[in-house]
Every structure is written in structure tokens, then in C-alpha cells.
Structure 1
């Protein structure tokens, strides 16, 4: 292939996907590495490791008769392997088929589906063909899909199954540039009506590649430049309309190299389970690009992984790296706690003893000090067994990303020698901004980690209205928001640093640093009517920690009000569609029984909200009082609290695709309850009457 050079550019940012940008190159060091395009890097890797296994996936089970259901895939079905040479060649075939269907330069291929080989092929195929890959969350409704697909000028859409296909068909008349739809799972049924575009099965689509030769594809690949856009990552919309974040070839290839270097990700030795939604930047940079850059092996989970089978997949795959959002780690910790609570006798005594050793050991490792006495014995008796039961016995690096992990979950897992380390990232920074990773001086619990090697971080108090905003500069910083000049310009300060929108600080610890500490989103800052400012995240996490067995989600309210109040969501079981039910989780029920009595008649959330006893009122209020004393100034004490009638969930819309709290949705949904909280001027009125209102 030709040596790929940079396209001429006049600015570090753009809002038109056709425009290249000036790269933020440093004179020396990691920021000065030679730029390279995605196709060229992939070409190098597959030449070096053609027979290395790139990924494995399960053979497909029988499709359900219900067209909206996920087909069943028994865990005992065999894995099918794909080598890097086969992977690369299939990406080229996909690109040639896209070219035949009329994919235009810098137009988009939209991909909506669960993680699969076809998702990866479509992603690289779009980039190879000179288009832009655009991932869409499977949970998006038709209107959300429409906004994204029109925003990026979509030529072709790749859907997983009929359920996703029907979403697109509902909005087809509003997609003027659409030329084809490809469905890669399930039988393709003949649709009634006539369309200006064609609908293909994956098999029929791939056959189209024979109509375009390799020379034609190579001509397109050789026109690509490292400072051109190749991928769009849409923001989750937790604070507004999703924006398309334009990511360049260099953003991807440089960031992947730096992550691999920083975490010492070994070539051809690592194993990963792919299950996080690929519309999210963390899944893309780790599952797709870090994997490709280091020639490692990935296993695809099945969509039912979100219904509680993740441990079964982990037991089969036994990954060396595990990446999860905080809610995944919370669920793992909850299951461990349920088992722990049922223990009796010598087994419980040994486990509790080992947890003390584990907690002290995690602190020792973080500080680079010798492990406590009997650490090896605790490992043999307890820790190794726990890890094996979870399928994490080979895992050397546990990553939490997407939001802050609660202190109580972090410390609980640490006590079992599962040292979860937080990574802070944004779409606009091609994924990771700061990283905690194993080793003294590289990890500090509660921090967001150290800046990615080759990037620059500072806390700005000069160019921004709100002092303390974390700002970034480096080759991981995005090109701009597609078709949004105003928003693109507003995202950078006067000297070109990207404003993350997060309130943060830099601090040195006893092991080194400076480590980055994130205090919360500036847009989520609550300003009381008296002018007091409150960052809700820390207070919310403190409440969750005080009520860890009973409360699942917490949201502080009170913007422009006289005082703070809090919405509390009680832990309940999820149904088959991942919607919250009325049934308490075992931990929640056990906690409730301890507050009341084991023989109480409260068996469901609905009954609780109707009859909430005084003992529960007092227990909740005592917890709120503790949080007020520890975490709040008296002027911003939480003065009222209320239970909401169901837990927050992805299916319910209160949580985004990465399980972040969607505050505007919660405020709108529970506006009547919130209005009731503030309608009485007496701020000391009993919260009992408020809680009953929520039912």
C-alpha cells in the first residue's frame, strides 16, 4: 500500500465530515508518533499475525417464533473461530459490497445490533470504503434512530434482526439518502409494499462484493488520510439531543496504541469478552480497535448476557481483561453478597477473615507495600475460589468505566481480591482520558486515574464561567460535532483545549500522580434559590452507600428551589424484558426484614408504598442524617426524601445505554412528586406523607 500522508488542513477542528483537521502533534515523545490510518494499521497486523484467532462466536441457535424475541443460543454450542487474515478479508469484501450499493465518500453506514462479527465487518467495511461508521444503540426508538441517521447522511443501514428492521421501516420516508438495508440475523421476510431501496440478507449482501474488484477498493483506501473522519460516536443524550462526535483515523489508531502501552496489553496473549453496547466509545476502543492493534482474541457474548448469564459466559471465556460499567460490577457484588449472607459456621468465619486480609492487601498493592501476613493462605482458601466461580481466575485487569463506581462496591470487591480500577473517558476523547492500571503509582482508589500517555490535562479557571473544569489536549481529542459549528466552537476554550464539562481536580497522592478526581458534571450542578452550589454525585453515592442493601438508584433534586430533596429507588428484581418488577431483591428483602421483623407482611414494593411503617421511615431518615453530617454543609442539607414507585432502568428510560442516570427524564417523569415536595413552605414536614404520594 502507498505511504499515507496527511491531508492539507487549516484548523484543528471542523464540523463538516469532508474536512480534514490539523493533528495535535507534539515535537517529541508519544504525541509525536507517526500518524496512520485504520486500514493501514489493520493491514500491518494481519500481515504479521495472519493465523492468530481474532474472535470466536457461537453457532446460531433456532430463531424464536416470536419475531421480537431474541433467538435462543445454548451455552453448550461450539465456538467458531475467525483468524486475522479471514477477518481482514471479510472486512474488504464488506467494503466492496458497500461500494457496489453506492456508499459515497464521507456518507454513513448506520449499524444497529448487538455485538457480532457482522457488526465488526460492517464497521471496518464502511471505513475501508471511504464512508463513516455510525453505531446506534439497540435500545433507541425509531425517532431516536431518525435523528442520528439524518444527521450523518446515511446511505446504508445494517440491522441485526427483524425487530431493528421494523424500526427503520417506520421512518423510511424520512430517510432520503437511504439506498439499502442489510439484515444479518434471522430469516429475512418479504415485506409488503415497494421501497426505493433494497433489503438484503447478509449472505446476499456479501455476494455483491464480487461485482467490485480489489483494485477499485485499494484506490479508495489509498485516498484516505489519518486526519480525516472515519467514525461517528453519538453522545448518549443524557443532557440533551445526541451529538455526532467526529473521530479521525489518527484519533483511533493513536489512542489504541497509547492504551496498549499504558496498561501493558500483551500482543497475542489477551482474551476479552465482548458484551458492552458497541454504540459506546469504551466498547469500540477496547473490543474493536485495541483488539485489532494488539492481535488478541475476543469472544462474542449472546444478547441474553443482560438477563443474568454474564457469569456463565465468563466461566467459558475466562478473560484476561474485563471491562464493565458500574452497574455490572454492582450486580456482581450483589450476587456475591447474597451468597455471603447465606454463609454460616466455619465457612463464614474464614470468608470474613479473608476479606479483612483482602481489604488490607488491596491498599498495600496500591501503595506498593508488602502484602499482609497470610495473604497467600487467604488467596488459596477464598479468593481463588471466588474468582474461579466468576470466571475471572485469569483476569489481571478489571476496568470500570462509563460513570463513577460507588465506594461501597469498590471496597467490597477489593476485599475479595478483585481490584476494580476506574477509567474516565468521553466520546470526544476517543474513549479514555485518564486510566488507573495495576502497579504502585499507577492506581489510586476513588480517582479517575492518570492522564493517557502523550495527552495534556489541566484544570481551567480562566476561560470558563465555572472554575474547576477539566480540560484536555492531545491526539485523542475529537475533530468536532458533525454539522454543528456553534457547539463545536463552544466545546473548546480560547487556546484550543477541549472542555470536558466535568468538574474535577488534580492531586498528588503518596504514591505519585497527579491523579485526576472527577467531582461531577457541570451541567448537573444544582444551584439553590439562595445561591448555594451542590455537586449531586458525591451525595448520591453517599446515600447509596448508607443504604446499599435496600436502595438501587438515587437522584438529588432542588435546582432553583429552597432546599435539597432526594428521590430513592428501591432494589427490585428485573423481568425477562429487563424491566423492574414489584418484587424485592433478596438483599432488599433481608434488609427490610432486619428493620421491621422477619414476620412482616410486606412482600412487594406496592404494598410497601401503601403501608410504609414508621420503623422504615426512621431507618431511612437516620441514613439521610448521617449523609448530611458527613457530606453536606448545613445550608445544603437534604431536607426531604421520597420513594419512587419503581426502580430506574434502561427499559424505563431513566438510565442511558451505559446505565448513566438520565436526569431530565427522571425530572419529567416524576414532576408531580417533585412539585408535591416543594409545594409546602415547611421544610421540616415528615417525609412519610411525601412517600405515600409516590405510590
Structure 2
């Protein structure tokens, strides 16, 4: 059993999960309280046997129709021990702190987790009580999480960006005995609330104060680190891919005219070849090898990905223009779909099963269905499998709303499956905009078209709930500080290059705000008109738009830690700008 908080900072931020992680305990500790037994009996007799909100509860395993597919349950400690036995001296995990590497073999990894478990028990961890872990990605984070489970506790992952109040709610819900933090900034949050935490027994800080590291920043000088590591699989969130794209385009613009012609030729061949490969064509043009040597391999080496065989994107889906650019560089980015409630991953693409904009196909022994489809086949996604969580800790009502009596997880995401069972995500049901006319509009496909038709736009968010028409909040592509993750005021190389093609001299966001650059304003107007020409109804057209004075970011509160747009937060932050869009009604 373990708990974590979801990716987006909404109400679920303070709702810990009882997760299976494809692993379920075959037996529950014999000392189950009378209350727990009564709650579990109620769950079993009511027919909802696939979930429980009780930390000591039992759940029915999800079994398939084919007996050969039904594996016996196994615990997390058993998995770790099995890996340590089978791959004892192989490298298991590594992370870099400052200039030194911490690497562990599988047997060392197991022993580190075991020592952490003993340490947690020593300072007073009780069975089924929480161990909160708050910090950036590191070996210590994972070791603490597994150690908590091995000690009989519940691993509670907490976002580094969470407020002290959110941390307090999570700690109280999980009856947290121990807080594990990575630096003084997180420690201060715990210090503010520890007086309210009756179960808290110990606070463990595993790293010294790191002033330059900011919350939610997974790595500081990313490409230098990649060049050193030479990964074979790389998983990035959208802003990381945006940073890489801008770096490549900057390098391209700084090269000679002859070099740029070669790269453009190679990229045209790369895009067409890879799109044909998606449809099953395996033969490459005779000149593909030359393009690989001249352009593709140098680009991968520049990014530190020259040994990489698999490229993954998690979080918000990338725009088609970004996917096409990397595909033209022979870097096919595979989209992943999943939720914390399904252990993070449900579908994934691979080189043998890949489509642009698709999240791939479901994992083995899992199932996907689409309910309440509209005329385009888009409906509510439901997931089934042994990877589905057990329930929200001490939250029976929301658990019951999330998992039905047959064990299906209702994601509240909209999507569809194509003929070949590739999954496409089309937004969230809760994000549908209802106009004053009663018409419901899905903003996701419209926003995607805006980002594709207007390449200087980074984020587009439609508003219009209970209003007569749609408006768009636009942000332009601005450079990112690689040390802090904060956005800067200067436009990216891609955006500047686009402006130059338009014969605009704008290089800063301030150059185009408030219609200061009529060329850019007209370009955006034309792009919006093009998007509107594809609108299925009048209500789905964008009537007004505004460029915001800052790009969306995690630190600004507009994005979650996986770069997913936090729409409710955006509406609150830019309430004044939205109000102005509707002050003078259009005819």
C-alpha cells in the first residue's frame, strides 16, 4: 500500500491514495480493528469489492477471463528482494548531487531501503501510518518511499510546491508519523504546521540547504547532465521538450546558410520517412543514412541523447508542431497517458505502435472503454486492471464515485480509441465550457489548433463559462531560466525567427503587448480566423483574444508540476483580463 498526491493541484491534492502499483498484498495483518472489519464487510457486501478507503481494508483482485493471465499477488518488499537476488551487482539507480554521483547496485539498493525501513521503525513509525516525502527527484526520495512500505507504513509523496496548509491536511489524513524533506525550504513548511500534527514523531532532512534549487525543478543544467549520463531512455515533461526545441532552433539559426539548407533537406526527409514508418512502411530512402550522419546524429549528440532509444513525454500533450519538429529530427516522442489512481501509466507508445498525438496502446492485461460517446466517438474514459488504486484514504464517498462496482476507474478524461485501438486524449469532462445559450464546447481541440496555427503562441486557454461567446487567453513562447524554471521576458529563438519572417522586429514580450506590434497582432488575428473557419458551430468560434503579460509556469501557479494547465487557477489569476474581454459585448 502507498499514497501519493495527484499531479494537479486541485481538491485531490489533499486526498492521499491507497495504491496497488500492480501489487496487492495477499494477506492483511491479522490485527484488524473491529471498525475496520465492519467497514470492510460493508464494502464487500455492497458489491463494491474492488475498492476500499480503509487503510486496513481488503480488495478483490481484478482477474481476467484467461486464467493464464492471472498472476498471484506480490508485495513491494518481495519485488525489491527478487530484483536484488536476480540482478544483485547490476546498476539499479543513480542520481547526481552537485558534482558527485550516487549510484547503487540492486543489492545495495535493497539494503538502503531496508536500512531506511529500520530507521523509520526506530523513530516510531506505526503500522499503516504515513511517511511524508517532500523534495525533488533523487535516490533518497525513492529509498524513503520503498522503506516506508517495507516498514509497514504508507508512502505519502507530497509536491514540493504544496503550501503548508495542504501539507497539514495530507499529514492529518494519513496520520503521518514522519516527515522526510530534502532541504531547509521544505523543512520550514513542516515547522509551521508541526504543532497541529498529533502523530508527528520525527522530521528527517536528507540534504543540506540548497539555495539555488527551486521547487518542482527536476534538474538544473539539463543537457549537460544528459551528455554525461548518455541515457538509453529519456522521459521529459513539456517544458523540457520546449527548452530542447528552442536550443536546437537556436543552434540552427546560428549555423551557416549552407548548413541550414542541409538541415532543412534532412528534416523534410526525416518527417516524411517517419510518418510513412508509422503506417507500416519499413523501407528507408537511399539518402536517409546520409541525413542521419549529417543532421540527426549531431542533433542527438548536442542534446546528450545520442544513445537514447526511447523518448517519452508525460504530462500535458505536446502540440503537433513540436512533435513534427522532433520527428523530422528522427526523434519520435512517445506520449504516455495515466493517472495517479492507475499508478501513473495506462497507455504508452513505442516504435512498433506509434501515432502522432496518440498516447499509444494500453498495457498488457489492462482494459480501456469509452462511455457516452458523442457523434465523433469522443466520450468518457474508463480504465480496468490490477494497476488501479485501492481507494482514497479515509474518503469513502469520493472513492465510490471514482471506482464502480465492476472495478472500472472513471477518469473524467475525454478521449477516443481509433480502429487500431490507439488512445487519443481530448481534454477533461470538467473543462467543458457551457455558454449562456446552453451549448457545450470542448476547449481542448480548439486550443490545440490555435497553438498549431500560430507558432509563437505557447499556451492558449479558452474562457466563456455562462457567457454568450468564447474568448482566448494567449501566452507567447518566452525563454526559460534553466536554473529556476521561471519564464523570462524575452521571446524564444523560434518566436523571434517567426517574427522576422513577418518582418517584425519584436524580441521581447513587452514589444507585442497591448497591440504595440501591429504586424504580430494581424498575424494572430489571421490565425484565429483560420481556426474559426474549422469551427463546427458558431458557438465554437473565438470572438476575442488577449496576450497575457507573462507565460504560464509552475511557480506562477498556472501549471501543475507536470506542466498541465490549472484552469481554475488561471481564471482566478487573470480574472481582470477576462472581465475586460466581456465588458463591451460584441454584436
Q: Structure 1 residues 382 and 450 mapped into 2: Cα distance closer, same or farther (>3 Å)?
A: same
- Partners of 1:436 and 1:443 within 8 A in 2: yes
Deviation of 1:31 after TM superposition, in Å, equals: 4.3
Matched with 1:670 is 574
Contact 1:31 1:455 (8 Å CA) reproduced: no
Aligned residue runs from structure 1 range 499-514, under 5 A: 499-508=410-419, 513-514=420-421
Which of the numbers 358, 383, 399 marks the counterpart of 1:447? 358
Aligned counterpart, 1:691: none
Correspondences of 1:527-546 after superposition (within 5 Å): 527-546=434-453
Structure 1 residue 45 corresponds to structure 2 residue 86: no
Separation in structure 1 between the aligned mates of residue 106 and residue 214 of structure 2, nearest angstrom? 22
CA 1:29–1:563: 2 relative to 1, 3 Å = farther
Where do residues 256-655 of structure 1 align in structure 2 (5 Å cutoff)? 305=219, 307=220, 309-369=221-281, 370-439=283-352, 442-461=353-372, 468-493=379-404, 495-508=406-419, 513-548=420-455, 550-575=456-481, 577-598=484-505, 604-610=508-514, 612-655=516-559
User: Which residue is equivalent to 1:658?
Assistant: 562
How much does 1:572 deviate? 2.4
State the distance in 1 between where 2:477 and 2:215 align.
24
Q: Any unmatched runs of 5+ in structure 2?
A: 1-23, 31-39
Residue 19 (str. 1) matches residue 53 (str. 2)? no
User: CA contact under 8 A between 2:246 and 2:492: conserved in structure 1?
Assistant: no
Deviations 1:381-436 (A, max 9, x none): 11111111111111111111212221111000000000111111111111111121
Closer/same/farther in 2, CA of residues 4 and 563 from structure 1, 3 Å limit: closer
Counterpart secondary structure, 1:583 = strand
Q: Answer whether contact 2:378 2:416 (CA < 8 A) is retained.
A: no
What's the CA shift for 1:473? 1.2
Partner of 1:186: 208
Q: Distance in 2 between the 1:603 and 1:593 partners?
A: 9
Corresponding position of 2:26: 5
Secondary structure of 1:171's match?
helix
Aligned pairs, number = 540
Change in Cα spacing, 1:325 to 1:597, as seen in structure 2 (3 Å) is: closer
Q: Using the alignment, how far apart are the partners of 2:25 and 2:403 within structure 1?
A: 29
Task: Using CA pairs under 8 Å that are at least 6 residues apart, name the structure with larger relative contact order, 1 or 2.
Answer: 2
Shift of 1:38: 0.6
Q: Which SS does the other structure have where 2:345 is aligned?
A: strand
Q: Do the aligned partners of 1:571 and 1:588 also contact (CA within 8 Å) in 2?
A: yes
Structure 2 matches for 1:50-69, cutoff 5 A? 50-58=88-96, 60=97
1-side partners of 2:126 and 2:501: how far apart?
Answer: 64
Equivalent residues of 2:480, 2:486 under 8 A apart = yes
- Flag the 1:524–1:659 CA change in 2: closer, same or farther, 3 A: same
Q: 1:643 to 1:88 in 2, by over 3 A?
A: same
User: CA 1:609 to 1:541, structure 2 compared with 1: closer, same or farther past 3 Å?
Assistant: same
Find the residue that maps to 1:569 and give its secondary structure: strand
Q: Given that residues 505 and 518 in structure 1 are in contact (C-alpha distance below 8 angstroms), is that contact kept between their aligned partners in structure 2?
A: yes
The match for 2:167 among 120, 138, 145 is: 145
Contact 1:355–1:416 (8 Å) recurs in 2: yes
CA distance in 2, matches of 1:670, 1:547: 22
Q: For the residues of structure 2 that align with 1:304 and 1:131, how far apart are their CA atoms?
A: 26
- Give the corresponding residue for 1:86: 108
Within the alignment, does 1:105 sit opposite 2:127 as a pair?
A: yes
Q: Tell me, in whole angstroms, the C-alpha distance in 1 between the residues paired with 2:365 and 2:381.
A: 17
Distance 2:405 2:172 in 1: 31
- In 2, Cα distance between equivalents of 1:469 and 1:390: 38
Q: What is the CA deviation profile of residues 321-355 of structure 1, one whole-angstrom value per residue up to 9, with x for unaligned ones? A: 11112222122112212222333332111111111
Does the 8 Å contact 2:128/2:154 carry over to 1? yes
- CA positional deviation for 1:645: 1.4
Identify which range, 19-28 or 96-105, moves more after superposition: 19-28
Q: Equivalents in 1 of 2:529, 2:464: separation in Å?
A: 18
Shift of 1:626: 0.9
CA distance in 2, matches of 1:450, 1:659: 23
Q: Distance in 2 between matches of 1:51 and 1:176?
A: 42
TM-score normalised by structure 1 residue count: 0.74
Render the CA deviation track for 1:137-194: whole Å, top value 9, x for unaligned. Answer: 2122212222222221110001101111111101111211100000111179xxxxxx
Is residue 159 from structure 1 mapped to residue 162 from structure 2 by the alignment?
A: no
For 1:392 and 1:276, the matched residues in 2 are separated by 25
Q: Structure 1 CA distance, aligned partners of 2:145 and 2:504?
A: 56
- Give how far 1:452 is off: 1.2
Question: If the length of structure 2 is used for normalisation, what is the TM-score?
Answer: 0.87
Question: 3-state SS of the aligned residue for 1:431?
Answer: coil
**Secondary structure at 2:543's aligned position in 1?**
strand
Deviations 1:503-541 (A, max 9, x none): 111111xxxx21112111111111111122211111112
CA distance in 2, matches of 1:490, 1:627: 37
The answer to whether the 8 Å contact 1:277/1:657 transfers is: no
Contact 2:50-2:405 within 8 A present in 1 as well: no
CA distance 1:523–1:597, change in 2 (3 Å): closer
Q: Name the structure 2 match of 1:266.
A: none
Does the Cα contact within 8 Å between 2:51 and 2:403 map onto a contact in 1? no
Preserved contact between residue 137 and residue 218 of structure 2 (Cα < 8 Å): no
- 2:30 equivalent to 1:119: no
